[in-house]
Structure 1
Amino acid sequence: MFVPCGEPAPDLAGFTLLMPAVSVGNVGQLAIDLIISTLNMSKIGYFYTDCLVPMVGNNPYATEEENSTELSTNTEVYSLPSEKLAALQLRSIFIKYKSKPFCEKLLSWVRRANFTRVIVLSSSHSYHRNDLQLRSTPFRYLLTPSMHKSAQNKIQSLNWKEMEKSQSIPQIEDSEFCFRIPGGGITKLLYDESCSKEIQMAVLLKFVSEGDNIPDALGLVEYLNQWLQIIKPHSDDPTASALPWKIPSSWRLLFGSGLPPALF
């Protein structure tokens, strides 16, 4: 499934894997874009899979004319060895009934590559929030049981709020309680599969609405940064970034080109 760009294949043992879920507002994908662009991560390979709609395009992180013609595909992997950080970017939607096989293959690769942990960046429909969620922060987290052992103390020190359980069938009083992430795409499937396979996984998500979701993506990477310190904060303010997030060149076309003057 994973095809390295060169030989030998990169050694990813001990790395943290960051990845998005294709979810409401594409917030996770936009957040991964910011991380790859800011850290200037290098592409190390791609996934050869029939689970996503095929696509090809120009280099979304081009910085000069020479690398602007490099091609990108629907599923690529980037890394920053100095920080033991890898990022998987998804740029396409799943083919019907193919999301579960993709998750299974992905987690098999995670085990073979010996990643230390996986962090999924996602989003959920804001209009599904209950009264308690409406009155609190729009950010939530989830940890698999195996992740609790290594991350719970750090998470608690940040005063983050864990995703609340809700009725599996809303408005049915005797229905069981579970985690529901409406609009989250493969988020819950990945989480459930990781729980059963004892994989260390954390899910960080934000309640959002469709629209201009760039501010949501910036908020989500700042949320992640409180934990991982991707951009080192000022010593006197742990929530402020020492460096700005770098906007990818491809975001200039995020909403298409301008209106043609001929219309007027």
Structure 2
Amino acid sequence: MRRGAEGPLRRTDAHARTAPVPPGAMFVPCGSSAPPDFEGFTLLLPAVSVGNVGQLAVDLVIFTLDMPKVGYFYTDCLVPMVGNNPYAAAAAENSTELSINAEVYSLPSKKLVVLQIRSPFVKNKYRSFCQTLLSWVKSSRCAKVILLSSSHAYQCDDQQLHGTPLRYLLSPAIQKTAGELMQRLNWKEMEKVAAYPGVNDTDMVLRIPGGGITTLLFSESCSNGIQMAVLLKFCSEGDNIPDALALVNYLNEWIQLVKSEQKSDAPATPSQWKIPHSWRLLFGSGLPLALF
């Protein structure tokens, strides 16, 4: 992922000193405290997809709501990584805390738990990760899962070029509780496309190019009776901050994480979402002046 503060890594984070990971563990709480209770919570997580839009949107949620880190998601399906605290200012006392590839944040007041993923998946480990994640969702008794994703804009078909670039998908288990609301919000469901364009236009399939694990995780959730919603945006690689803001506003229309400063029905403005300090390094530190 294209972010993370630079600087020396020192093992001063109290959260890093956790107990040994038991065999088969998925969620590992910080320190020696008992695992938090996520029953009835909404689990929010990103797909590692084009433009890192889902991950950037999750960053906005965590930083704006000042969500505390409660643990780690232990898996061998992600490329290992470690870095400084992405939500701390450079001179802050907690700037030397360590962050890894999959961390869990929670806000009981909003019944919200967030899994942030900061590295790409290991090849051929997609299905294993999806199964592990859904097993954790069931064991923790989360009420529903919301996956934030993105898809290549250049691969949109004709029907997807009309109207908003934002789309949603609902698993059958959540259709009854959320379907009517999506219609009242005038949201557009992700369209299916022909399996064999120009040859057979009757067989329709769900395709999300550039969406990473989105299609697999959604289909697994449908098969396992998991209440899952996918919110995604068509985009291209580049400066994806505007895409992240659009996606998190889309999410906010549904679950109201941030209230509008104007009218109750108006969307949240970019200024209402706090930008993490690490975003200053999204595109590196710039070109050396000595070159000019």
How much has 1:190 moved relative to structure 2? Answer: 0.5
Q: Secondary structure at 2:222's aligned position in 1?
A: helix
Q: Secondary structure at 2:58's aligned position in 1?
A: helix
How much has 1:241 moved relative to structure 2? Answer: 2.1
Report the equivalent of 1:259: 287
Amino acid at match of 1:147: I
1:60-139 mapped onto 2 (5 Å cutoff): 60-63=86-89, 65-139=92-166
How much has 1:234 moved relative to structure 2? Answer: 4.6
Amino acid at match of 2:265: P
Report the equivalent of 2:29: 4
Between the aligned partners of 2:199 and 2:38, the Cα distance in structure 1 is 46
How much has 1:167 moved relative to structure 2? Answer: 1.6
Aligned match of 2:78 in 18, 30, 52?
Answer: 52
1:30 aligns with 2:45: no
Report the equivalent of 2:40: 14
Between the aligned partners of 1:74 and 1:167, the Cα distance in structure 2 is 36
Question: What TM-score do you get using the length of structure 1 for normalisation?
Answer: 0.97
Determine if contact 1:2/1:45 at 8 Å carries over to the other structure.
yes
Question: What TM-score do you get using the length of structure 2 for normalisation?
Answer: 0.87
1:211-230 mapped onto 2 (5 Å cutoff): 211-230=238-257
- Residue by residue over 1:213-258, the C-alpha shift from the partner in whole angstroms, topping out at 9 and shown as x without a partner, is 0000000000110011100125635133276100001001000002
Between the aligned partners of 1:231 and 1:178, the Cα distance in structure 2 is 35
Aligned match of 1:204 in 210, 231, 234?
Answer: 231
> Hey, which bits of structure 1, 4+ residues long, moved more than 6 A?
none
Between the aligned partners of 2:119 and 2:196, the Cα distance in structure 1 is 30
1:163 aligns with 2:163: no
Gapped regions of structure 2 (runs ≥ 5): 1-25
Report the equivalent of 2:175: 148
Between the aligned partners of 1:115 and 1:39, the Cα distance in structure 2 is 20
How much has 1:87 moved relative to structure 2? Answer: 0.7
Between the aligned partners of 1:136 and 1:50, the Cα distance in structure 2 is 40
How much has 1:132 moved relative to structure 2? Answer: 2.0
Q: Secondary structure at 2:148's aligned position in 1?
A: strand
- Residue by residue over 1:172-227, the C-alpha shift from the partner in whole angstroms, topping out at 9 and shown as x without a partner, is 32562111100000000000000000000000000001100000000000011001
- Residue by residue over 1:111-156, the C-alpha shift from the partner in whole angstroms, topping out at 9 and shown as x without a partner, is 0000000000000000111222212110000000001011112111
How much has 1:48 moved relative to structure 2? Answer: 1.5
Determine if contact 1:234/1:240 at 8 Å carries over to the other structure.
no
